Structure 1
Amino acid sequence: MCRHIACLGPSEPLGEVLVRPRHALVRQSWEPRRQRHGTVNADGFGVGWYADDDPVPARYRRAGPIWADLSFADLARVVRSGAVLAAVRDATEAGADGEAAAAPFAAGPWLFSHNGALTGWPVSAAPLAATLPPAELLGMAARCDSALIWALVLHRLREGDPLGQALADSVTDLAAAAPGSRLNLLLTDGTAIAATAWGDTLWYLTEPGTTASTASTTTGSTGAGAGRTVVASEPYDDGPGWREVPDRTLLVATRTDVQLTPLKEPTA
């Protein structure tokens, strides 16, 4: 349904991640190589990035295809950041929300994207929507499934849950309410990335100075030295360093470490 990517590493122009690689996100908007559902991601796009010494990210979003936006090409050439989250969108269904429905969604220090779809939307999501405080429900930026998922994740973040826990618990609840949903979620606060593989592809890349590990929620790993980590729906090049995340898995990463934790199917 969409393609998304997050990157933590040395400060560099946005285009080095989103445009320059042979199969970068811009190309994935019209020619994804591993997308399981849909073929073209032309229903909007967005990029969020963090500036030095400012924990609140900036965003640039549009309702149309990324390849048609000449302003984005200029922005990607000159804006630099060491923490980025971006997405191109293939809408689950037609709507009137325009760029408000395009990821990344944002609040405070967080950026969020959803690749997938809720089965039975919106009826299946009604019980979960009812658990949100009315002000948070009414404050949703758009009327799509991704916006509701973000509201559920954001509520947990505001309650103090760490990134990974907020995603894992939200996915468990959503999968129980709407079985068969595709729930690849991507979240960052500019210092760490959390993501889920649930129904579509997810890959990660670590570069020198980075340690990757597969661990349970009670087993940590420690990386040494500054590094660079990329988490994406699919690789942006054919380099040998990419690793696929197994389905039903939570990924939590920093610039120096990647941890993978299996996610359990909700019980009936």
Structure 2
Amino acid sequence: MRILCFYPGKNPGPYISYFIEKKQQDLHLFQSHRNIIQQCPSGRFDLAILECNDQSWRQLRRLRKMTSALRIYQPGCTIMIHRFPSNPDLTLYREIPKALYDFALEGFSENPAPPDLFRMLLAKRKQRLFNKWMITSLKGMIGIGDRINELISNHMKERGIQATIIEVTDDFESLFQDQMPDFVILHCHNRKGDFGIINRATHMIRRIHPDCLIYITCYSNAILHYYETYKLDEYCCDQILTLDADTKLSLFMQQLRQDLALSYLRPAFQS
């Protein structure tokens, strides 16, 4: 989760300080609005926290420039404005169009505590992710079974999701590093009935690419047996998707696509 923070004073406010104290990874701190505007076209930010003490119209004009740049270059970024009201006149502040930000908070005493607030922001981001463009930018790898591989791959391609069909063998690690996908869907064992190679593959994926979503499929009538015998709980995966012999692909794909949309780039705000 890449977080961009701007504070105009000597010290950051409570919300930015919260992330600093938590030693949040990929935290980018700025005190110059020009630097933020220069950063916007490069990279990707998931959350922006912009503080404003509104001591002058210049502060608000800079805030508007920053939010405008973020909306143009970072359409998937959730933007929060945190205003410290030193001036009771809100006329200038209200001139910032609401379309340029997602949340606006004032002061701190009556606002949500940081963990609660960032859960709200995460929910807002998931909603944006589900409804907007990001879902079509995903690419994945599928290794379930010959027939269902083709069906799922074709279904995803029709919806703009790139899906590569693979088989987990001894050279899977090099294949994975070449692709570095956003998600991987693997059956709980390979075609030779080897559960261990799939288990090791999930740990390799988590080690090399921690943000990659890992899905494991298993037939529902065998899942309890596999949990006890092959220790499915030791797999590194985000979710186990169950299959039935008479499962309709459309229902399975609806569940999968919704989970991808709600979960992609999921590294949560630490609370």
Which structure has more helix as a fraction of its residues?
2
Normalised to the residue count of structure 1, the TM-score between the two structures is 0.23
Normalised to the residue count of structure 2, the TM-score between the two structures is 0.22
Bigger relative contact order (CA 8 A; separation at least 6): 1
The structure with the larger Rg is 2
